[in-house]
Amino acid sequence: MRIGLSEASRALRGAHAWRAMAARACGAMLLVCPVMAAAPTAPELPAITEKMFRCITQMTHVRHYYVDNLAGNLAGTVRAAESTTGEPYPVGSVVQLVPTEVMVKREKGFNAATRDWEFFELDVSADGSKIRTRGFVEVVNRFGGNCFACHIKAQSQWDMICDNSHGCDTIPLTRAMTGALQRTDPRCKNPVPPSPEDAAALAQLGAMLKAGAAGAAAAAKK
């Protein structure tokens, strides 16, 4: 069948009009249904090295311990630490009661049994920190306590953080002892001599450790 020139022109104009209408419809759909934003990614935690552990009193003081955040979310860590009902700590949270013991909240899925916490035992001196032991059940502090075995007893809402009323076993350290250890951290610059109260608490702690070591040695000989 032969198509006249006028008919071909009308068909061409119709095709152009259809394409314009389709373009307008697509534009309207984009306005009505914008592209969904990508889900926020979890903060990236750098490889943990001993240089990240610093003078404990340079961290943020919450009640009787200190906190920090290696992923930059200090506000989230402080909020969890100050919660009166408990909440999960964000990735990168650092929690310390004494200079030689550290808990770090690792990436989600790092270790379900520890709720993604990793434990560290440090040697500290004026030169800085040295990682003595790190991990989970293998970390035993110098007072003979297994970090995981103690913290796993914390009630679930406290995210494995121990305190006097969180369900953990009582530790042999008094608040006077932990405060004295914090204030005499050898990594801190311009240290001041311990107060008489701190000196007395440290002397009591030293005697307790000496007695514990003697008891352990005697038990090993049996």
Beta bridge partners of 96: 66
Domain range annotation of the chain? 50-168
pLDDT over 80 at 218, yes or no: yes
Sign of CA dihedral 145, 148, 154, 159: positive
Q: Please provide the average confidence, as pLDDT, over all residues in the chain.
A: 83
pLDDT computed for residue 41 by the predictor:
58
Question: Do 122 and 132 touch, CB atoms closer than 8 A?
Answer: yes
pLDDT band at 68 (very low <50, low <70, confident <90, very high): very high
The strands making up 101-105's β-sheet, listed across from edge to edge, are 60-62, 65-69, 93-96, 101-105, 117-125, 128-135
pLDDT single digits (tens) 34-58? 444 444 555 678 899 999 999 999 9
pLDDT band at 4 (very low <50, low <70, confident <90, very high): very low
Alpha-carbon gap, residue 188 to 182, rounded angstroms: 10
pLDDT over 80 at 25, yes or no: no
Whole-model pTM? 0.77
